[in-house]
Amino acid sequence: MPHVATAVSDPDEGCKKTPGCTLPEGHTGACKVREGSNMSTSTANISAAAVKELRDKTGAPMMDCKNALTEAKGDLEQAIVLLRKRGVAVAAKKAARATSEGSVASYIHAGGKIGVLVEVNCESDFVARTEDFKELVHDVAMHIAASDPKFIRKEDVTPEAYEKEKDICRAQAATTGKPANVIEKIVEGKMGKFYEEVCLYEQPFIKDQTISVSQLIAQKIGKLGENIAVRRFARFKVGDNNVTIAATKPAEETKE
């Protein structure tokens, strides 16, 4: 005999297991969803094609994609936003974990005119050997070749470079004739743009301008479950004597 769902609690209380279920809270057996009801939030109504499209766009695990689409009521763009936020949250939790494994990769661009060496670290050799990690390292190297960052993170910007740029921004803002407090706000905004221009992590990712490089890395952290960080890179350009060499500051220096 097939198992029949039975109520075990107050029939006035609705089921909380599945949105749209017509059975009372605490019932046993499968939920019953009224046919034809608006069930865009039901996991069962999220198509495999939509899940695959989201996975292709974000690289997130299938179940995470399905859950994000369910929460976003089938809205693909909103689901992408949710996955990015979760990736950043996971990355923040893992940020203090040591990264002693990883990979060094090179990227040659423009017919051999620009070359990059980059070291990206993770926590284990297992993750370092995955295709996802290798793809990330390649993408970071390619981005550096194309965007020419001078530092890796905001924390790595030298005091000299910071003060020099701030003086330039303040001089430019002063020509507007605005009050001092307004000028300082203008300078603050310009310094935010400065970080975006010179810091690898703050730059819009060359292959997807809607996310930054730090968000790209956060997505991989969320997928692979390990802390990941760019440790150092060098960028060479034929005929340019100013080779860009950047490295992250040790943790004890960053705290100062």
CATH number for the domain spanning 85: value is: 1.10.8.10
Mean pLDDT along residues 12-40: 56
* 35/52 same-domain check: no
Asked whether residue 74 is assigned to any structural domain, the reply reads: yes
* 146/219 same-domain check: yes
Token code pair at residue 139: 């993408």
* 150/243 same-domain check: yes
Asked whether residue 180 is assigned to any structural domain, the reply reads: no
Q: Which amino acid belongs to residue 172?
A: Q
Asked whether residue 223 is assigned to any structural domain, the reply reads: yes
pLDDT of residue 10: 45
* 15/117 same-domain check: no
Asked whether residue 182 is assigned to any structural domain, the reply reads: no
* 139/18 same-domain check: no
| CB 191, CB 169: distance < 8 Å | yes
Residues facing 244 on adjacent strands: 235
- The angle subtended at Cα 131 by Cα 96 and Cα 217, nearest 5°, is 35
Token code pair at residue 195: 């970080």
* 119/3 same-domain check: no
* 117/32 same-domain check: no
pLDDT of residue 247: 95
- The angle subtended at Cα 187 by Cα 186 and Cα 193, nearest 5°, is 95
Instruction: Identify the CATH number of the domain in which residue 246 sits.
Output: 3.30.479.20
* 49/113 same-domain check: no
Whether the pLDDT of residue 36 is over 60: the answer is no
d(CA 200, CA 123): 21
Asked whether residue 163 is assigned to any structural domain, the reply reads: no
Handedness of CA 33, 36, 37, 43 (dihedral sign): positive
- Per-residue pLDDT tens over the stretch 53-93: 887 777 666 787 888 888 888 888 888 888 777 766 666 77
| CB 140, CB 213: distance < 8 Å | yes
Asked whether residue 186 is assigned to any structural domain, the reply reads: no
- Tally of domains in the chain: 3
* 114/82 same-domain check: no
DSSP class of residue 153 equals S
- Per-residue pLDDT tens over the stretch 94-152: 777 878 899 999 999 878 999 999 999 999 999 999 999 999 999 999 999 999 999 99
Label residue 122 exposed, middle or buried (CB < 10 Å: 0-12, 13-18, 19+). Answer: buried
- The angle subtended at Cα 151 by Cα 147 and Cα 153, nearest 5°, is 105
Q: CA end-to-end span of the chain, whole Å?
A: 70
* 108/151 same-domain check: yes
Asked whether residue 23 is assigned to any structural domain, the reply reads: yes
d(CA 119, CA 254): 19
Domain carrying residue 133? 101-157+199-255
Asked whether residue 219 is assigned to any structural domain, the reply reads: yes
pLDDT of residue 54: 82
**What angle do the packed helices 62-71 and 76-94 form, to 10 degrees?**
120
* 17/54 same-domain check: no
| CB 18, CB 42: distance < 8 Å | yes
* 12/74 same-domain check: no
Q: Where are the alpha helices (DSSP H) in 33-104?
A: 48-58, 62-71, 76-94
- Per-residue pLDDT tens over the stretch 148-181: 999 999 999 999 999 999 999 989 888 888 888 8
